[in-house]
């Protein structure tokens, strides 16, 4: 096997710090996706089962879509209730300190802050770091870490880790889906994950108002075939009209990006704060993390994001300039 032979590359120091800890925290990035949430819950549920005090959180806004209702969130606390001075806090799936949002200061009161992440752009912001861009999901790294620790991975923890893997691999579709990923998924299923229920909740359920939002966003999509770009915009008014929340729109980019004529897809989302959140996807030739970096954002080669203070036209002008 390569360096990715079944978790042999977990740094020993990180294993030792967690094994010795009495209290363990895990924090994910703001607006957590399945991987951030699955990683912090998987780690803390296993820590609690191993006899540790365990707390998970993420920065404000402290809200989650109902699609995650099937997850055991008994270790999850609001950012204001996340204890200070924990023995170890692990920042999961978080590419930069700023992505911790309102929980960053509290996380840093830990005796040891450990960063576990698979974003190539992660420059490290902890006392100890394990950054592996080859990992398909941070949850995959947490799985290896738990195996090394010999902490129990019961059904709730396995379900959380499975959630991270299935979301970050696009349901086992992306090139990051190695034989090892399937091997881990098999172990998680053996631990009792109900993959049929997970898939139904994550991918086959949305509020009815989502139909209108899809209709609006897909209806205003623009193809710029000469530069291989397809893009659209979600306006804040779309959400108000449909009566759904921003958190319910994570899957929109997967619809915008299907145009055969485009190698790159961009979805801009207007936030009520006046900022624009941009999501970028690539079919592989173009590194969209490099485009996101122009805006101060980051991510992966094929999937990246950024926040922009300006107008839709200004943001698209920068994306076009990067592509031309």
Interior/surface letters 106-125, b for 16+ CB within 10 angstroms, e for the rest? bbbebebbbbbbbbbbbeeb
Q: Cβ 28 to Mn ion, closest distance in Å?
A: 9
Q: Cβ 190 to Mn ion, closest distance in Å?
A: 23
Bond into 150 cis (ω within 30): no
Q: Give the position of tokens 């296993």.
A: 46
Question: Can residue 248 be called a binding residue for Mn ion (CB under 5 A)?
Answer: no
Rg for the chain (alpha carbons), in Å?
A: 19
Question: Can residue 287 be called a binding residue for Mn ion (CB under 5 A)?
Answer: no
Q: Cβ 35 to Mn ion, closest distance in Å?
A: 3
Q: At what angle do helices 155-168 and 34-49 cross, to 10 degrees?
A: 160
**Binding letters toward Mn ion, positions 111-140, x by CB under 5 A:** ---------------------------x--
Burial of 152 (0-12, 13-18, 19+ CB in 10 A): middle
The DSSP code for 83 is P
Residue in the shown chain whose Cβ atom is closest to Mn ion: 35
State which residue, 21 or 36, has the beta carbon closest to Mn ion: 36
State which residue, 228 or 278, has the beta carbon closest to Mn ion: 278
**Binding letters toward Mn ion, positions 193-232, x by CB under 5 A:** ----------------------------------------
| Residue 233 burial (CB count, 10 A) | 20
Choose, by CB under 5 A, the member of 31, 43, 45, 168 that binds Mn ion: 168
Q: Cβ 282 to Mn ion, closest distance in Å?
A: 16
| Choices 21-29, 89-97, 184-192, 250-258 (CB under 5 A): range interacting with Mn ion | 89-97
State which residue, 35 or 270, has the beta carbon closest to Mn ion: 35
The DSSP code for 96 is S
CA distances from residue 53 to 24, 135, 250 in whole angstroms, order as listed:
6, 28, 32
State which residue, 93 or 287, has the beta carbon closest to Mn ion: 93
State the residues that interact with Mn ion by CB under 5 A: 35, 93, 138, 168
């Amino acid at each position: 096997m390569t360096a990715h032979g079944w978790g042999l590359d977990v740094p020993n120091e990180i294993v030792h710090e967690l094994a010795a800890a009495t209290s363990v925290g895990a924090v994910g990035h703001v607006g957590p996706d399945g991987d951030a949430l699955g990683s912090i819950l998987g780690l803390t549920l296993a820590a609690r089962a191993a006899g540790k005090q365990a707390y998970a959180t993420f920065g404000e806004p402290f809200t989650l879509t109902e699609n995650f209702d099937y997850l055991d969130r008994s270790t999850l606390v609001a950012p204001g209730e996340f204890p200070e001075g924990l023995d170890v806090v692990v920042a999961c799936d978080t590419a930069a300190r700023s992505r911790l949002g309102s929980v960053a200061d509290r996380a840093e009161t830990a005796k040891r802050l450990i960063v576990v992440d698979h974003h190539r752009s992660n420059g490290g912001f902890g006392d100890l770091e394990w950054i592996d861009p080859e990992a398909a999901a941070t949850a995959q790294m947490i799985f290896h870490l738990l195996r090394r620790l010999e902490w129990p991975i019961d059904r709730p923890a396995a379900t959380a880790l499975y959630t991270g893997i299935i979301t970050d691999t696009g349901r086992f579709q992306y090139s990051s889906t190695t034989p090892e990923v399937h091997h881990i998924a098999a172990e998680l299923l053996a631990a009792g994950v109900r993959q049929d229920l997970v898939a139904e909740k994550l991918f086959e359920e949305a509020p009815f108002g989502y139909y209108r939002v899809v209709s609006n966003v897909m209806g205003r999509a623009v193809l710029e075939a000469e530069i291989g770009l397809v893009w659209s915009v979600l306006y804040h008014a779309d959400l108000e009209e449909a009566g759904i929340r921003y958190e319910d729109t994570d899957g929109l980019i997967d619809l915008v990006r299907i145009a055969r004529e485009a190698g790159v897809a961009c979805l801009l989302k207007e936030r009520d704060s006046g900022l624009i959140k941009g999501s970028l996807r690539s079919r592989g030739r173009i590194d969209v993390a490099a485009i996101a970096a122009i805006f101060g954002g980051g991510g992966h080669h094929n999937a990246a994001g950024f926040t922009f203070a300006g107008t839709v036209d200004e943001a698209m002008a920068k994306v076009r300039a990067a592509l031309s």
